[in-house]
Amino acid sequence: MGALREFWSLIFPTECVVCERPDSSLCPDCAAFLRRATVRPFRADQGAEGLPESEGAQTAVAAGGAEDFSPLPVIAAGPYAEAVSAVLLAFKNHGHTDIARWLQAALAGALHEARWTLCPDSPEVLLVPVPARAASIRRRGYDPLTLLLDALSRRRELPAGTAIAPAVRISIRPALLWTRISGGLSQKALGKRGRRQNLLGSMEAAPATRNVGIGRPCIVVDDVLTTGATIAETVRVLRASGAVVAGAVVIAATPAPSGMDATTTAVLPAVPKVPPSEPAEKNRRVGVNSNNG
């Protein structure tokens, strides 16, 4: 087996996406570093100024006129730095699907934490992935977020009582106006206000799952949290459809919380708080053929 591995490494040389050590896409040392960086999910919403208000905050403002802004809770597996950012970029933009399993583990931990922290009393929670643009999927050959979530679902590693619901899609209309509005600038090149304005109206409810979230708690899932504008647009569509958005989950967040780096711990426990009585049911995907809702 070792000889065969050496033979293939000569024909198809590879190196660690983090430290460039030869022979593997993620060397043992960097894989261990990645695990340490993502083993303790944390609240990352305080640094993202583009996030919407939480459901509870909206009620409080309407009833009592409170002025304090309470952002939508976002739980991140790790900070967007060093090994975490390198692995994410290699997976998303350079075709390294062979390192997906390490990101799946990180995402699973954050999903479990969010499910039992944000929706502990809900019998079913919908996991709504942020939609990817068709052009990005064509360029990569896959949808990174869908690939991760579907793999977790197949292996029954999603939290019990959750179902993947692709309830939001990219709207065609804003795509036609993109060049005129932004001058062709990428989302990264726009400022905080520009990102929000550019994304407003860029998503819509997916027809096949338009009513699936009515009255149900949802958790938005994305890969990276920056300003929060992308999550905010997804939340806007879900709330307009009647869903209750409890929070969001990301693999990595930038900037990292104050005083935290890629190897330190965070504010939330590492072990998911799964109730002992929770049934071990099969995770489901709410898709085009679903009769849910």
Pick the closest to residue 112 from 229, 245, 221, 243 (CA basis). Answer: 221
Q: Give the CATH number of the domain where residue 201 resides.
A: 3.40.50
In a domain, 19, yes or no: no
Which range marks the domain in which residue 247 is found?
39-262
Structure letter (DSSP) for residue 214: T
Q: Give the model confidence (pLDDT) of 135-185 as tens digits.
A: 999 999 999 999 999 999 999 999 999 999 999 999 876 544 544 444 444
Q: Are 166 and 179 in contact (CB under 8 A)?
A: no
In a domain, 83, yes or no: yes
Q: CA 140, 199, 152: angle at the middle one, nearest 5?
A: 45
Q: Give the model confidence (pLDDT) of 220-239 as tens digits.
A: 999 999 999 999 999 999 99
In a domain, 162, yes or no: yes
Q: Within 13 A of 189's CA, how many CA atoms are on the CB side?
A: 5
Residue 218: φ, ψ to 5°: -125, 150
Residue with tokens 């009255």: 215
Q: What's the number of domains the chain is made of?
A: 1
In a domain, 110, yes or no: yes
In a domain, 236, yes or no: yes
Pick the closest to residue 288 from 210, 216, 213 (CA basis). Answer: 210
Q: Give the model confidence (pLDDT) of 183-207 as tens digits.
A: 444 555 555 555 555 677 789 999 8
Please state the pTM of the whole predicted model. Answer: 0.78
Q: What pLDDT, on a 0 to 100 scale, did the predictor assign at position 278? A: 41
